[in-house]
Amino acid sequence: LPKDHAEVPISQADAPPVDTFAVQPRGKGRSAKLWKPKHVYFTAGAWEEAHGRRIAERLDALGLNYEVMKANRLPKLGGSTTRETYQKAKNTLAIVNAPPSTMKLTPIPPSADWQFHLAKGCPAHCQYCYLAGSLSGAPVTRAYANLDQILENNANFIDPNKQLTSFEASCYTDPLGIEHLTGSLSRTISWFGTQPDARLRWVTKYDDVSALLDLHHNGQTRCRISLNADWVTRRLEGGTADLEARLQAMRKLGQAGYHVGAVLAPLMPFDNWQDDYTDLLQRLREALDFEVDLTFELITHRFTPGSKQILLDWYPNTALDFDEDKRSKKLNKFGSHKFVYQKEQMKELKGWFTEEVEARFPEAEVLYFT
Ligand code: SF4
C-alpha cells in the first residue's frame, strides 16, 4: 500500500471527519462525531413498539426530525449513481422491526455461540467494511424497535448444559455508533446483567462509552474495541474515533468492571507495518495499566469478489490493496471464495502478532488468529 496515497472524502456534503494524513497528536485523541442522520423514518410497526417510542424520545431530544410511515415500507432512496445512493443511505436511519426470521439465531464461530442483531448497517465509512459483502442493498442503517422481543428470544438460546452461552451483537452493525440515537446497547447490556448463564459480546470503533459506565452489567458483557495501526485508522476508517480515543474508551470500560477485548482488525502488511503495530500494542499496554480481563482477536484483511466490487463503487480512490494476484483463494463450505494473504505472509503475521501480544500481555488470552 503506497504511503503517500491521499484519501479522497466521500463528498463535500457527506465527507467523514477523517480527511487528512496529518499526524494526530497522541494526547487526548479525537472522538467520533455523533451521527445525526439527515433522514429518519419509522415504519408503522416500529412506531407501535415501546422501544420505538424510546428512540423517538431520543430523536426529539437531539432535535432530529423523523417521519412515521403509514405501512411497513421505507421510501426509495433514488440515487442516480451507486455513489449517490451510498451517500443518501449513509445519511438515513430507519427504525424498523426485526423480521421473524431473525428470531432463529445462527452460530457465529469463532466469535460466539449465537449472533443476534440490534441493527443492520453502520454510519461509519470504513473502506474495507465487512458489511459490504454480507448485507444487500443500499447501506441504510436499520435499527430494530422490537428490542424487547429480541432480548426475550435470546433467552430461548441459552444452553442449560453449558456454563456460559455467548451472544455476539455486532455482526451487522457498530452498536455504539448509534447508541445515542437508540439506547439499544445499554438496554441489552442491562438485560444480560440479569442472565447469569449468558455472556454478551460486542465491538466498536466509536468511543462515547459514557452511557455504559454505570450500567448493572454484572460482568456478563465483554466490550471489545476494534483497533488498528494509526496508518490504517487514519486512511481507511472514516467517521470513527481515532486510535487514542478508542484506547481511552477501552480504559474507561475496563475501569468500570467490564471484561474487555482488543479486536486487532483488519491486520495489513503495509510498509513498515511492524513499527506501527508495535506502537499500537505499546499504547494499548499504557492504556490498560491495571488488572483487567482482556482477550485478543487477530483478524487479517480479506475480501470476496462481491465485496471488492461494492467497496470500489463506494470508495473508488481507496488506498486499500485489492490486488488478487497477491492473495490466496480460500474456499468456503458454500462453494464461494474469499481472498486472503498468501501462506508465507499469513505465517509471518501470525508469528509476529502472537509473539508480540504474548510478550506484552501475558495475562491476556488470544482467542484466535484468522
Ligand atoms: Fe463497517 Fe464496522 Fe466500519 Fe461500521 S465500523 S463501517 S460496520 S467496518
Q: Are 120 and 141 in contact (CB under 8 A)?
A: yes
Ligand 1 in reach of 98 Cβ (< 6 A): no
Q: What pTM was computed for the model?
A: 0.92
CA of 329 to the centre of ligand 1 (A): 24
**Is residue 282 pLDDT above 60, yes or no?**
yes
Ligand 1 neighbour 131 (Cβ under 6 A): yes
Ligand 1 touching residue 10 (CB < 6 A) = no
Verify whether ligand 1 is closer than 6 Å to residue 205 (CB atom).
yes
Residue nearest to atom 3 of ligand 1 (CA): 126
**d(C-alpha 298, C-alpha 263), whole Å:** 6
| Distance (Å, whole) CA 233 – CA 241 | 9
Q: Find cell 460466539 and name the residue.
A: 112
Q: Is 107 exposed, middle or buried (0-12, 13-18, 19+ CB in 10 A)?
A: exposed
**Percent of the chain scoring above 70 in pLDDT:** 92
Model ipTM over 0.90: yes
Which atom of ligand 1 has the smallest separation from the CA of 204?
A: 5
Residue 217 near ligand 1, beta carbon < 6 Å: no
67-68 β-sheet, strand order: 67-68, 39-42, 92-96, 141-144, 119-120
Give the pLDDT band of residue 168 (cuts 50, 70, 90). Answer: very high
Split at pLDDT 50, 70, 90, the class of 62 is: very high
153: which residues sit within 8 A by CB, 6+ positions away? 103, 105, 116
pLDDT bucket at 333, cuts 50 / 70 / 90: confident
